[in-house]
Amino acid sequence: MNLRWNPTFHRFEAEFSTDFQGDLTAVKTAGFRTDGPPGWVWYSLRAAPLNKLRENRPASGLTINADAKEQYVALWKVEEANAKIKAELATHQKTLKKKLKEDKQDEAVASGPQMKMCELGFMCISREDLPPMLPYEKEYKAPPPPDLKCFICQAPIYFYETQNPPTCLWCEKTVLDNVKDVC
């Protein structure tokens, strides 16, 4: 397998030897990508896959062009520096998160109710330590009664009661009971 530098696309490209399957599996495990059909060019934009390929060489062998070697050396230096900076950033972010979490807890303790020792030796909070409770306000207001009135007792007639003649449920029941008694 031969590795070459493509200056048009700024990438490393793999040229396979006669052992196609061996080269293909080596390139895939190293982390190269492909353009797909019709060219099926396997390439890498980074230097790390080239290191993996160098560690796990294909059976057909591995060579690299001179211009690809120059680009690899320059790119590998940059990637190593970036890896160090990313590791430092990760540790810094971890400590910063921990510090922010501790500060938040300290702030919550400082702003919350203060604990005092009771006469029994326990930590407790008294009524004076808590904020005042807002007075209860009733939000529901009943709708006004309907204007239609029962013709017998003058009670309001709702939509579920007999409308013709307007009779409330109580009067309707008593009238029906009286009619049954007469019959």
Best CA proximity match to 1, nearest among 72, 33, 12, 75: 12
Interacting residues of 51 by C-beta distance below 8 A, sequence separation 6+: 76
Location of structure tokens 């529901």:
140
pLDDT of residue 108: 65
Dump pLDDT digits (tens) for 56-98: 888 888 999 999 999 999 999 999 999 999 999 999 999 999 9
| Beta pairing class for 11-15 and 2-6 | antiparallel
Rg (CA), the chain: 43
Interacting residues of 84 by C-beta distance below 8 A, sequence separation 6+: none
| pTM of this structure | 0.50
Interacting residues of 74 by C-beta distance below 8 A, sequence separation 6+: none
Runs of H (alpha helix) within the chain: 20-30, 48-55, 66-111, 169-182
φ, ψ for residue 64, nearest 5 deg: -140, 140
Dump pLDDT digits (tens) for 106-132: 776 666 556 667 777 777 777 777 778
Positive/negative CA dihedral, 126, 129, 134, 135:
positive
- Which one-letter DSSP state was computed for residue 112? S
pLDDT (mean) for 153-178: 86
